[in-house]
Amino acid sequence: MEGFGAISGLLPFVLIFVLFFVLIIRPQQSRDKKHKAMLADIDKGDIVVTSGGLHGRVETTADDGAVLKVSIAEGVRVDILRSSISFTKKGGELIEG
């Protein structure tokens, strides 16, 4: 019965780890997966919002796909990293990542 006492001493730590995983880690993994899918679905003409709050329309993508050329005003184009995009807007529908 002495071994059972050692196991029962670890039981609260195991339960805390399981709760931590279910309440924090798992939902974050789900959000990351959704954000990656949103980033992969960005096309020319989509309206994007960066994490810094910059709004613009996607003009072109670089060959490697990591950099987007975004028009933020008439005649003003900036290069931004695809990973810095927080939201996209397709057909009037806001898509969060």
Over residues 20-57, the pLDDT tens digits come to 988 998 999 999 999 999 998 888 889 999 999 999 99
**Structural domains in the chain?**
2-96 (2.30.30)
Adjacent-strand bridge partners of 80? 68
pLDDT above 60 (res 68): yes
Task: Give CA–CA dist 30/26, Å, rounded.
Answer: 6
Q: Which amino acid is at 15?
A: L
Q: What is the pTM of this model?
A: 0.71
What is the residue whose two structure tokens read 């995983």?
Answer: 21
